[in-house]
Amino acid sequence: MIVLEKRPQPSKAWSYATPLVAVVATMVFGGILFAILGKNPVEAIGTIFWEPLFGEFAFYYRPQLLVKGAPLVLIAIGLSLGFRAGIWNIGAEGQYIMGAIFGAGAGLAFYPLDAWYVFPIMVIAGAFGGWLWAMIPAFLKVRFGTNEILVSLMLVYVAEQMLASVSLGLLKNPEGFGFPGSRNLQSYESAHNAELIAGSGMHWGVVTALVAVIFAYILLNRHMLGFHIRLTGEAPRAAKFAGVNPARLILFCLGLSGALAGLAGMFEVSGPSGVVSIDFNVGYGFTAIIVAFLGRLHPVGILLAGGLMALTYIGGEIAQSQLGLPAAAIQVFQGMLLFFLLAFDLLTNYRIRAARSEVA
């Protein structure tokens, strides 16, 4: 008989080991999946993890890792603060969309003015858009005690409709022959979030993501507010005695995560994407939830996890075109990562023991 026994204290060792064990397990079971599909598992896994970093065309893929990873990290950092305090913002995708709409909208309002202040205004507008969208569930929770998980999630679908609406109307490119989608911000220099060094993949969104990592680290470890966030998550009653104002904490956590998601959307729309279109959002807001947990809600962990997720996306595409792996198999592979993480997480709080079965 094998029994699970609750640990008196969560195991520190396991909490660090879980992500690594999960990655290894994903490789093993993903390899089995690829083998069943008739592909060489070693080659497939090698392609996914090796090719983007050290393959023949790594000079192109490495910068792309930054482009793909930056929005994930930026959003996940914001989410992790709330998650630590038990405040569950599931609607980052919607805040990401609103950030893009506000940011691009601000930029397009100035079109074709050429001025240095256009881009900073777009940054502020993007953050504001995301913040505003997150304030809805925050306000409803504080005022009426609604569930922020449901409200923030539902608002994603509202944001998607707004996106369709502005792509077809308000922000539609007047020179687009009636097709939906805005002007391309890449060709409007004052609003273009261009690469800071050509070919490096480094745009303002990447810089902001790195700054956010440092900022979150300091907040959590050196600041009273960070202490309150951690305390609320770990010991809600103690937090109350320590004088934590739950309403203020909710507003802060949701607002900040919304603003960061909004920034991610704004940097994406003004840089790599360039266009507000109906299909602008591709799920960064949801994937960031995986990234946040994979990174143990720790800023540095999130940075690494974001890189890993980006790697599986880019490597997955290479595996598709080189080896003919179906896209669905790659998605299963990514899903396994979260699944195994949650499964092995059990070992942080429980230990497995062989118990002698008593004969009755």
Partner 1 sequence: MKFTTLLTSAAMALGLASGAMAEDKTKVGFVYVGPVGDGGWTYEHNKGRLAVEEHFGDKVETVFVESVPEGPDAERVMTQMALEGADLIFTTSFGYMDPTINVAKKFPNVKFEHATGYKTADNVSVYSARFYEGRAVQGHIAGKMTESDIIGYIGSYPIPEVIRGINSAYVHAKKVNPDVEFKIVWAYTWFDPAKEADAATVLIEQGADVILQHTDSTAPQAAAQEAGNVITFGQASDMSEYAPHPRVSSIIDNWAPYYIARTQAVIDGSWATVNTWDGIAEGMVEIGEISDSVPADVKEEALALKAAMAAGEYHPFTGPLKKQDGSDWLAEGETADDGTLAGMNFYVEGLEGEIPQ
What's the min distance (Å) between Cβ of 315 and partner 1?
A: 11
Beta carbons of 304 and 92 less than 8 angstroms apart: no
CA–CA separation, 173 and 279 (whole Å): 15
Q: Is 247 left (phi over 0), alpha (psi -120 to 50) or beta?
A: alpha
CA–CA separation, 86 and 167 (whole Å): 35
Select from 225, 194, 173, 213 the least CA-distant residue to 69.
213
Instruction: CB nearer to partner 1: give 193 or 232.
Output: 193
Among 8, 38, 169, 174, binds partner 1 (CB under 8 A): 169
Beta carbons of 130 and 99 less than 8 angstroms apart: yes
Q: Which of residues 181-220 bind partner 1 (CB under 8 A)?
A: 184, 186, 195, 198-199
Is 178 a binder of partner 1 (CB under 8 A)? yes
Q: In this structure, what DSSP letter does residue 190 have?
A: G
Among 2, 6, 13, 59, binds partner 1 (CB under 8 A): 59
| Tokens encoding 79 | 């989410």
What's the min distance (Å) between Cβ of 55 and partner 1?
A: 10
Is 314 a binder of partner 1 (CB under 8 A)? yes
Instruction: CB nearer to partner 1: give 16 or 60.
Output: 60
Is 241 a binder of partner 1 (CB under 8 A)? no
Instruction: CB nearer to partner 1: give 140 or 282.
Output: 282
Is 54 a binder of partner 1 (CB under 8 A)? no
Helical H segments across the chain, by residue range: 12-36, 41-49, 51-54, 58-84, 92-110, 118-144, 148-168, 204-222, 224-234, 236-241, 246-270, 284-294, 299-323, 327-349
Count of chain residues binding partner 1 (CB under 8 A): 44
CA–CA separation, 289 and 291 (whole Å): 5
CA–CA separation, 100 and 103 (whole Å): 5
Site string for partner 1, 246-285 (x = CB under 8 A): ----------------------x---xxxx-xxxx-x---
Instruction: CB nearer to partner 1: give 109 or 327.
Output: 327
Instruction: CB nearer to partner 1: give 142 or 163.
Output: 163
Stretch that binds partner 1, among 37-45, 83-91, 240-248, 326-334 (CB under 8 A): 326-334
Instruction: CB nearer to partner 1: give 37 or 278.
Output: 278
CA–CA separation, 266 and 191 (whole Å): 11
Among 320, 334, 338, 350, binds partner 1 (CB under 8 A): 320
Q: In DSSP terms, which residues pair with 354 in a beta bridge?
A: 2
The DSSP secondary structure of 142-166, one letter per residue, reads: HHH---HHHHHHHHHHHHHHHHHHH
CA–CA separation, 114 and 191 (whole Å): 9
Among 32, 327, 342, 355, binds partner 1 (CB under 8 A): 327
What's the min distance (Å) between Cβ of 255 and partner 1?
A: 28
Is 171 a binder of partner 1 (CB under 8 A)? no
Residues in the chain: 360
What's the min distance (Å) between Cβ of 72 and partner 1?
A: 13
Q: Which residues bind partner 1 (CB under 8 A)?
A: 57, 59-61, 64, 67-68, 160-161, 164-165, 168-169, 172, 177-180, 184, 186, 195, 198-199, 268, 272-275, 277-280, 282, 313-314, 317-318, 320-322, 324, 326-328
